Structure 1
Amino acid sequence: MTVRMRTGQAAPGIDAAAAGGTVARDMAFLAPDAVAAALAVDPATGLDPGEVRARAARWGPNALRARPPVPAWRRLLAQFADPLVLLLIVAAAVSAGLWLREAAAEGQSGLPFESLAILAIVLLNAAIGTIQEARAAQAVAALRRMSAARARVIRNGTRQEIPAAELVPGDVIRIEEGDAIPADARLVRASALLTNEAALTGESVPVPKGAHPEDALPKDALPKDALPKDALPKDALPKDALLLDRRAGGETDPAEPRTMVFSGTTVSAGLGLAIVTATGMRTELGRIAGLLEETTDEVTPLQTELARLGRRLGLAVLAIAGVLAVTIVLADHIRTLPALLDTLILAVALAVAAVPEGLPAIVTAALSLGMLRMARRRAIVRHLAAVETLGSADVIASDKTGTLTRNVMTVRTVVTASGRSTPGGPPAGPDGPLRSELRQALLAGALANDAVLQEREGGVAIQGDPTEGALLVAARTAGLGAEARRFVRLAEIPFSSERRRMSTLLRETGGPSCLVAVKGAPDVVLARSSRERVGGRDRPLTPERRDAILAANAALAGDGLRTLGLAHRAVPEGEATAPDDRIEQDLVFLGLAGMSDPPRPEAREAVARARAAGIRSVMITGDHPRTAAAIAAELGIASDGTALTGAQIDAMAPGALDEAVRRVSVYARVAPAHKLQIVRALQRNGLVVAMTGDGVNDAPALKAAEIGIAMGVTGTDVSREAADIVLADDNFATIVAAVEEGRAIFANIRKVLRYLLSSNLGEVATMALGVVLAPLLGLAAGPGEVVLPLLATQILWINFVTDGAPALALAVDPVDPAVMKRPPRPRGEGVLTGAMAWSLSFIGIVTAACSLFVFDACLPGGLVAGSGTLAYAQTMTFTTLVLCQLFNVFNARSAEASAADGLFKNRWLWGSIVLSLLLQVAVVYTPVLQQGFSTVALSPGDWLFCAGVASAVLVLEELRKAVARARRSAAPGA
């Protein structure tokens, strides 16, 4: 059937179909030709570009309505949800009111600079938090766009792969095992097609599908006049359209039509060709109200742990601030309302500054930006939690083909009854038996094939499986292209991991009978063969010949070649009506095709890098054991030639596999079910497993593994949906790069935590010790006065200047090469360890000591006599504390390495430090800010003194790290 329409002029039925609802679903009960006519498309050629544009403009993208983004003003308001921030704002407002009342009573002019400074800092912090959250949200949105679903379509006579969002009603889509169906569509061709419609019906049993209503529906289907007369617009369909329904007058249940496939469901088996009838919100999935509105943002275990840590720190700091406030009130005999209010503001400001309220936003930004970095290295993360788990991976269990190898298949040799030959090479003779056998074998490989060769500038492009493409190229090289085109495909039995073979039923143009062409695992094809092609005739397969063929197969596998068995047989006309496994019996064995898929050049180095990082590489493949062992030895995965097969796993006693996985790193001839067994066995040994997969049946293993990794190029939609990470290039080296990035992300989050907690601890210790040691420091407060090393505004300013930009810069610190020289992080190890806590405490105490030393040195009396005023001493202490935290940024970059390592690698870090210094200079010298923050101008000598004292934070931590490194080097076994 051919349908021709002028661009932009849709058939009358297209509006009804694309509108979704009952009319679109009624396409299920039309004959395939009637559906194509109603949707104005030829299934053989698909839509042309002009028609696609016209329909896209009319119906919009094939996407469900997304939850609207949170407006910026709501994000900003959410920053004030913290009770401490609200209390600080209220206290500042009350303080401003008291100031205004006193100013009016005393006739003073001016502004309440302190209260205004507090409010300004709160607003600035809220703005920064809003920007950080927006940046993280943009990063997550970018990742979602990268992992968007794709669809295979026929447009303008060629196969294409496009984003699923670009589908329009009338598009012709091709679906096969493992695909997620991208839109509601009516089948026009199907072969052994089963779909899983649990997403719509809740029923997990696969549903059989067919292209013809009379084949797909029950025998008691009603005749064509059962459909209500007004179901379709007048003249929308051809007069001879076949209409079938199951219930007179009843609305169609989406679970019932066997000729329809639905968006959001998946293909369990088989393949099909279908015409899109509804897209976006007009699909059955789109009819489910509130689907996306009810979704929630993903929260990872790390974020949960940090939230719990933040709550505990908040309670601790609140307790300290409360005790500090009570101590001040009692020690200084404070009774007046203004002094009590100042004390309250001071306590609340200390609590606000000490609690790292920006940590969740920074962690989210670190995760999101790190995931973008991973995406640039071709690893797309679907679940945030996988980023954390990557650092704990002990084993990477990987497929061979396409992951460890290049997936560029080439038929190197073909072994037939008369010998061994090379496609395109010189045969034994132009008409000899070897040539005849080679042509028959390659023809079978080209006919049992779903790949397509497309002519392109500079060569031929393969659309489809690389192995099938290699067979097509070999047949073309042997001059069999025209001969293959004489055959018309009637049906096929698709390949599956259980069957390990594929068959097609064909009729030769003008021929008297049909032909079955079979390709698959050599042992499977040979077991179903009873004869062998020798020259131009067939002879029975003897046990000796079977042994010889299997020996030849083993020899090819030992050379590192992937092998396929090829066979065919003539089928009587009567058997060709309903193809099933029975037509794959009594085959004529034609030969073995040996294909090479060389290892990726970068794979060996990636295996070595993984080993240096304490990660073991394991190869799992369906190939011959000798092929697997040869590739594994070349890559450095295993050199002992040992490969455990699926049959051997099945024969093992309970518990034996747990022992075997400790020493075996190569698994061959395995089915997807064996992958799950291997994962479970590795996990029972206490190992964290990253597992790759590409097929439908790999999904259980991907879900069971701590890190499921799907192939983005050759993988199915089902495997990608089950995985945590999708490889955009199917490359083993990308897995190792993802592990490196995952470790770097976690290390950066620890850097941020190390910096924020140690710096905030320094602030709390400075204030607490300032109160406790007030008599020793020369602090003399009059009755009812509050005199401390720092003011509330200064504490908030320190939090604003040092907790924002420097912390965010640490979150994007470049990858430290040392992360791949350490063993995996122990499972269950928290983000804050005991060693980290001791280091934080050490830095916090040093920071407080430096700050209080400067404070004491600037005041008369105390341990170190000075001559400055209180305002001068507070400004010096204020500046010293800021500089201490900026020096501490370099400490935080590593818990072990010297700060000098990679000192200039992070330009953002240096930029944030310069910004913080400029802000501190502004608050010290700008008159308006001097009034708001009670600062006085400092001389260059003052700055040098503050910097010299503050540098002790860096110097002493460097000494501590040096001692720790020396002890570790001297330890036995180091």
Structure 2
Amino acid sequence: MWFNKNIENVLQELNVDAATGLSDAEVSKRLEIYGHNKLKAQQRKSVIRMFLEQMNDWLIYVLMAAVIITIFLSEYIDAVIILAVIIINAVLGVYQELKANKAIEALQKMSSPKSLLRRNGQVVEVEADNIVPGDIIILETGRFVGADLRLIEDANLQIEESALTGESVPAEKKAHAVAEDPETPLGDRENMAFMSTMVTYGRGTGVAVETGMNTEIGKIADIIENEAQEKTPLEKRLDELGKTLGFIAIGICVLIFILSWVQGRDLAEMFLTSVSLAVASIPEGLAAIVAVVLSIGVTQMSKRNAIIKRLPAVETLGSVNIICSDKTGTLTQNKMTVVKYFTSEGVVKIDRHSDRVSNTAALLTTGMILASDATYEDGKGTGDPTEIALLAMGDTLQIDRKQLNEQYSRENELAFDSDRKLMSTLVKNGNKYRVFTKGAIGSLLDISTHYLVNGEHVPMTEDYKKQIKAEAGKMSDEALRTLGLAYREAGSYQESDELERDLTFVGFVGMIDPPREEVKPSIALAKSAGITTIMITGDHKNTAFAIGKDLGIADDINTAITGKEFDKIPEAELAEKVKDYRIYARVSPEHKVKIVRGLKANGNIVSMTGDGVNDAPSLNAADIGVAMGITGTDVAKGAADMILTDDNFSTIVKAIEQGRNIYNNIKKSVIFLLTCNLGEVIAMFVSLLIGWQAPLIATQLLWINLITDSLPAIALGMDPGDPDVMKDKPRPPKESFFANGAGLQAILGGLLIGGLTIVAYWYGYYEHGYAPHDADVPADVLEYARTMAFMVLVCSQLFYALAIRSRTKLIVKIGVFSNKVLIGAIVAGIGLQLLVMLIPFMRDAFKLQMLDSKGWLMAIGLGLVPLLLAELHKLFIKKKPA
């Protein structure tokens, strides 16, 4: 490990002189050995391959068989419709895939700036992809780091590493530090700088030790590339359903054909009937219905600040029972904020609405502002996040910073040094000079001779020091970062080496990256819905726990664990142990992926939120990866399934609610389709089994299938959301469409609809003085009986769509017209039926007869029975979640 070696050993191992750098000849040799300093391009699928992969699905196989059968039956319109469904579904899938999985490209863009190098004894600027191990790289404020470096020089060097480590403040670097522990976390490697991070303060020099895919960011790219893309729960269920329906369809064809052969029927006619029934038993509109419902859900969610990249991910949200969230920028504001300050007057919480502060507090704030190099205007700042927070504190306490800067001029300064941990400035106001020194409290107390108490400069005593340190310790326990201030009046200009002496200690401030205001109630709502929130962050354990406790994620420090501690858990116990923790601190990208996989191994559906490059692998590994749209990196957005345009944690909870409702709607459509198709199969099979003529012919079956498998099913998928859906616990990931009585509902509904169709068929004979088993039945009577069956089957299915909207709530409670699309679909279906009946050439084409008044009353009456019985059943069952 490079961070475990001293500078001399590193330079010797890389065979380079830090003063001159590599020669051009040596660079050429190393380029051949190590390759260019860029990330390996992800192998892209061709559009044709993506299209074919979309076709590799059991339901698609069944639909393709349906196309062949309908062409064989000369039903070309049906064949075209089914084929269009298949193609549209595949095109939608390809479109979504083309938009997604761009994480590697985003990483490549991030890692290609220019760098300052020392080569041939001269400083030159080169493209970062030409850096090789052994190159001497010069770091300046504002420059990106071009490779992973072992630092060899530093001057107050600070590097913004939040995209890799998750820490909200820049990391201070020490070139001469040597880490003894080979498992030192990424954020604690003080002598290293990493590719694609940015220098925010100071300067330094480093030697490139890793390039390209061997860098820390390269390892992330490798994890993303090699992470297998799993099917969503919905995709798995539809795949299983497709297989089941395929076998059922084949079974129906064979069974009816054998039955017809045994009974001595016309085999040619019965072959057409059996394959027509097989086609009718397959809900060929299901794929299109799911695509339409998901697309509608995507549109609705985009209006609620959640952009979905993969359609099935909408439904997966409804199954989520664990949300793994990054801390910085997701649960917190990613903005250091001063929340308390301490002076001899005590601890004061900062309140925007407080009265004017005391003179001591004003002096504390003034000194913090004047000893700062940051800028902050209109809510936007530049410079060190800590100093920006101090300027914002001045605004909150109504200190006029503009007037201060006009009143005081900076005459001299002593820059921050990581050894001293102090920064001092000499300012002038008129003819008066004043020194302000800010920094670590311990360092300030060492050089402070007095303490400002009630406006008086009293000698600093050990008791005062103990009191100050005790208060600072309390703030540290709350995960606040403390920064102190001391000052003295100077009679004249002071040299830099004279500034930090004989100071009077004024006080200190406590700052933190605070939680977002809306996060806490969202976590509580998620908890009430059976969803556990887990924090996974690169920050320190105490800081993470303090935030987690405040948000209600954890209330016991024992539920927090560091990455170093996590590594000690045996692989065999991982899946069991991950259930015990709510906060994971000081973790690496590899840890995050390992945690997500451990949670998934327990059967959980895991959502992972994040915004940094370090979050990308875990976003990719989770069932649902959620990236921040405002603060999120392109890498995180590319790896995620969903992007929050408002960076609001509460949007995730709203999206989960939407996902649950979408799944419920898809389930309604599936149960409705299978109920209707089962009714058709029962009516046909029972009639043939008892020796009757087939109650429906092939063209009638296909027509019924066209009406009921399209508009009503789609309309059910557009049902308004259930306001009580978040009162339910998360749906088990392996739960089928037929769980919780839905399968029994489909069977009973199918039996009822099939039975009523048989009754209507019998009544058609009975009305004309015949029975279905009579030998010499006139053709027009047979057609009349089939017309009765035809009308009742369609009417019962269309009206039953109203009842299936909820298994427990009456249609009057839901609102008959609350789903106007469904009402329109029912009206349209009945209208099409009437057209077939009333237009003579269509009536003849379908071999139907005009019904008399008794026939119409019977058809409408029997058609309403499934709806009425379903509503009566709801009155007598114990109320359960819809």
TM-score higher than 0.5: yes
Pick aligned residue for 1:120 from 66, 77, 91: 77
Cα offsets for 1:307-343 (capped at 9, x unmatched):
2321221222222122212322442443xxxxx4433
Residue 438, structure 1, aligned to residue 355, structure 2: no
Secondary structure of 1:800's aligned partner:
helix
For residues 134 and 827 of structure 2, what CA distance do their matches in structure 1 show?
A: 63
In structure 1, what residue type is equivalent to 2:682?
Answer: A
Match of 1:344 in 2: 271
Match of 1:747 in 2: 664
In structure 2, what residue type is equivalent to 1:937?
Answer: M
Pick aligned residue for 2:530 from 601, 604, 614: 614
Match of 2:760 in 1: 854
Residue 374, structure 1, aligned to residue 301, structure 2: yes
In structure 1, what residue type is equivalent to 2:196?
Answer: V
Contact 1:619 1:632 in 2 (8 A): no
Secondary structure of 1:965's aligned partner:
coil
Cα offsets for 1:634-686 (capped at 9, x unmatched):
x6667xx6455867897799699999987886x59x43458778767866876
Contact 2:297 2:662 in 1 (8 A): yes
Match of 1:891 in 2: 803
Of the structure 1 ranges 353-362 and 696-705, higher mean CA displacement relative to structure 2 is found in: 696-705
For residues 566 and 853 of structure 1, what CA distance do their matches in structure 2 show?
A: 89
Secondary structure of 1:392's aligned partner:
coil
Contact 2:610 2:619 in 1 (8 A): yes
Change (3 A) 1:869 1:427: closer
Cα offsets for 1:522-558 (capped at 9, x unmatched):
xxx5577774666799999998666544533465589
Cα offsets for 1:924-954 (capped at 9, x unmatched):
1122322322223334653332121122222
Secondary structure of 1:789's aligned partner:
coil
Match of 2:646 in 1: 729
Structure 2 gaps, min length 5? 1-23, 28-42, 119-127, 150-193, 203-212, 214-226, 429-434, 488-493, 498-502
Contact 2:531 2:730 in 1 (8 A): yes
Secondary structure of 1:349's aligned partner:
helix
Pick aligned residue for 1:799 from 695, 702, 705: 705
For residues 380 and 561 of structure 1, what CA distance do their matches in structure 2 show?
A: 34
For residues 61 and 89 of structure 2, what CA distance do their matches in structure 1 show?
A: 15
For residues 516 and 208 of structure 1, what CA distance do their matches in structure 2 show?
A: 35
Match of 1:773 in 2: 690
What aligned pairs does 1:197-216 form with structure 2 within 5 A after superposition? none
For residues 957 and 479 of structure 1, what CA distance do their matches in structure 2 show?
A: 72
For residues 679 and 863 of structure 1, what CA distance do their matches in structure 2 show?
A: 63
Pick aligned residue for 2:248 from 316, 329, 332: 316
Match of 1:932 in 2: 845
Secondary structure of 1:726's aligned partner:
strand
Change (3 A) 1:297 1:647: closer
Contact 1:443 1:475 in 2 (8 A): no
Pick aligned residue for 1:671 from 586, 594, 599: 586
Change (3 A) 1:831 1:538: farther
For residues 217 and 678 of structure 1, what CA distance do their matches in structure 2 show?
A: 26
Match of 2:72 in 1: 91
1:475 Cα offset (Å): 4.9
Of the structure 1 ranges 825-834 and 725-734, higher mean CA displacement relative to structure 2 is found in: 825-834
Secondary structure of 1:474's aligned partner:
helix
Match of 1:869 in 2: 781
Change (3 A) 1:123 1:439: same
Contact 2:145 2:195 in 1 (8 A): no
Match of 1:920 in 2: 833
Residue 365, structure 1, aligned to residue 292, structure 2: yes
In structure 2, what residue type is equivalent to 1:842?
Answer: L
What aligned pairs does 1:564-963 form with structure 2 within 5 A after superposition? 564-565=482-483, 592-594=508-510, 602-603=518-519, 605-617=521-533, 642-643=556-557, 667=583, 670-672=585-587, 688-699=605-616, 702=619, 706-774=623-691, 779=692, 787-833=693-739, 835-859=741-765, 860-862=769-771, 869-903=781-815, 904-939=817-852, 941-963=854-876
Cα offsets for 1:686-739 (capped at 9, x unmatched):
655444334444456555655443333333444444544332223232121121
Change (3 A) 1:648 1:936: closer
Residue 326, structure 1, aligned to residue 326, structure 2: no
1:206 Cα offset (Å): 14
Match of 1:181 in 2: 109
Match of 2:232 in 1: 300
For residues 670 and 63 of structure 2, what CA distance do their matches in structure 1 show?
A: 20
Secondary structure of 1:951's aligned partner:
helix
In structure 1, what residue type is equivalent to 2:528?
Answer: A
What aligned pairs does 1:393-432 form with structure 2 within 5 A after superposition? 393-398=320-325, 411=338, 413-415=340-342, 429=359
For residues 948 and 439 of structure 1, what CA distance do their matches in structure 2 show?
A: 85
1:897 Cα offset (Å): 3.6
1:754 Cα offset (Å): 0.7
Change (3 A) 1:716 1:698: same
Contact 1:691 1:708 in 2 (8 A): yes
Residue 267, structure 1, aligned to residue 179, structure 2: no
Contact 1:643 1:664 in 2 (8 A): no
Change (3 A) 1:698 1:333: closer
Secondary structure of 2:284's aligned partner:
coil
For residues 397 and 733 of structure 1, what CA distance do their matches in structure 2 show?
A: 14
What aligned pairs does 1:201-240 form with structure 2 within 5 A after superposition? none
Percent identity (aligned): 32
Cα offsets for 1:267-319 (capped at 9, x unmatched):
3565699xxxxxxxxxx9xxxxxxxxxx9999534224312321221222222
What aligned pairs does 1:449-528 form with structure 2 within 5 A after superposition? 453-454=376-377, 461=380, 469-475=388-394, 478-480=399-401, 482=405, 525-526=440-441
For residues 147 and 543 of structure 2, what CA distance do their matches in structure 1 show?
A: 45
Contact 1:679 1:701 in 2 (8 A): yes
For residues 940 and 324 of structure 1, what CA distance do their matches in structure 2 show?
A: 34
Change (3 A) 1:618 1:611: same
1:848 Cα offset (Å): 0.7
Contact 2:475 2:482 in 1 (8 A): no
Of the structure 1 ranges 878-887 and 127-136, higher mean CA displacement relative to structure 2 is found in: 127-136
In structure 1, what residue type is equivalent to 2:303?
Answer: R
For residues 85 and 610 of structure 2, what CA distance do their matches in structure 1 show?
A: 42
1:748 Cα offset (Å): 1.8
Secondary structure of 2:323's aligned partner:
strand
Pick aligned residue for 1:552 from 449, 471, 474: 471
Q: TM-score, normalised by structure 2?
A: 0.65
1:858 Cα offset (Å): 0.5
In structure 2, what residue type is equivalent to 1:712?
Answer: G
Change (3 A) 1:858 1:730: same
Secondary structure of 2:114's aligned partner:
strand
1:857 Cα offset (Å): 0.4
Contact 2:115 2:137 in 1 (8 A): no
Change (3 A) 1:80 1:122: farther
Contact 1:562 1:627 in 2 (8 A): no
Cα offsets for 1:91-121 (capped at 9, x unmatched):
33xxxxxxxxxxxxxxxxxxxxxx5xx2233
Change (3 A) 1:716 1:795: same
For residues 532 and 683 of structure 1, what CA distance do their matches in structure 2 show?
A: 54
Contact 1:324 1:768 in 2 (8 A): yes
In structure 2, what residue type is equivalent to 1:767?
Answer: M
